[in-house]
A and B are shown apart, each in its own frame.
Chain A
Amino acid sequence: DVKVTQSSRYLVKRTGEKVFLECVQDMDHENMFWYRQDPGLGLRLIYFSYDVKMKEKGDIPEGYSVSREKKERFSLILESASTNQTSMYLCASRPTKGQTEAFFGQGTRLTVV
């Protein structure tokens, strides 16, 4: 079974803090993704990576950055957390670029106060 693990299930951070969300997958997948899930808005892509050291902007990258130093780990960074970044964050991985399912982590519920 593919396992995608996010480091925290729940996080509470203060406005202006730098926040790190970590994601690790154990199936040697090339592709990793960070999504944000808000009620009524589906899953919106923040950033993705097709390989180590590579990153590409998704649909809503503003206020976020990412790091992929190792193939199995993809980190999402909130440089200066704001209340409008309160959300559920989902990490996903896929074995190849095309026509394969995504495997999701359990999600991190981030609250910025």
Chain B
Amino acid sequence: GENVEQHPSTLSVQEGDSAVIKCTYSDSASNYFPWYKQELGKRPQLIIDIRSNVGEKKDQRIAVTLNKTAKHFSLHITETQPEDSAVYFCAADNAGKSTFGDGTTLTVKP
């Protein structure tokens, strides 16, 4: 089955700095890669996603890149703000079944 590794497990940045979270996957059949943000005590919510026929996608301060050959994808957050503090999960999806990474706890210090 699919295996997704996510790094780092914790990340602390100063407000205004950039944050990068990296994930690798094992199954070359995976074709959809969503990223979810989970604030404390709340449900995970999609923040950005990318499909396997696209190399990069950007939405304001958030961007995701995908390297299919190397089987890795990354989340980039620029100009971080305290409200970006949360747990972030990457996932690799094949035929509607998502395998999640273990999560990254991002702390943005004001």
Majority secondary structure, A binding face: loop
How many chain B residues touch the partner (CB < 8 A)? Answer: 25
Our pick among A94, A99, A106 for the contact of B51 (Cβ within 8 Å) is: A99
B97 at the interface (CB under 8 A from A): yes
A74 at the interface (CB under 8 A from B): no
B100 at the interface (CB under 8 A from A): yes
Majority secondary structure, B binding face: strand
CB-CB under 8 A from B96, the residues of chain A are 31, 50, 94, 96-98
Evaluate whether A42 and B103 lie within 8 angstroms (CB atoms) in the complex, with A99-B51, A101-B46 already known: yes
Bound-complex Cα distance A107 to B45 (A):
13
**Chain A contact patch, size range:** 20 to 34
CB-CB under 8 A from B100, the residues of chain A are 35, 42-44
CB-CB under 8 A from A105, the residues of chain B are 43
Evaluate whether A102 and B46 lie within 8 angstroms (CB atoms) in the complex, with A31-B96, A42-B100 already known: yes
Bound-complex Cα distance A66 to B96 (A):
18
Specify the chain B residue showing the minimal Cβ separation from A56: B97
Proximity bits, A99-113, B CB within 8 Å = 1, else 0: 111101111000000
Question: Which residue numbers of B lie inside 8 Å of A, CB to CB?
Answer: 1, 6, 9, 31-32, 34, 36, 42-46, 49, 51, 89, 93, 95-103
- A-B interface, 10 closest residue pairs, ranked by CB to CB distance from nearest: A97-B96, A101-B46, A42-B102, A99-B32, A104-B43, A43-B100, A42-B100, A104-B44, A42-B103, A106-B43
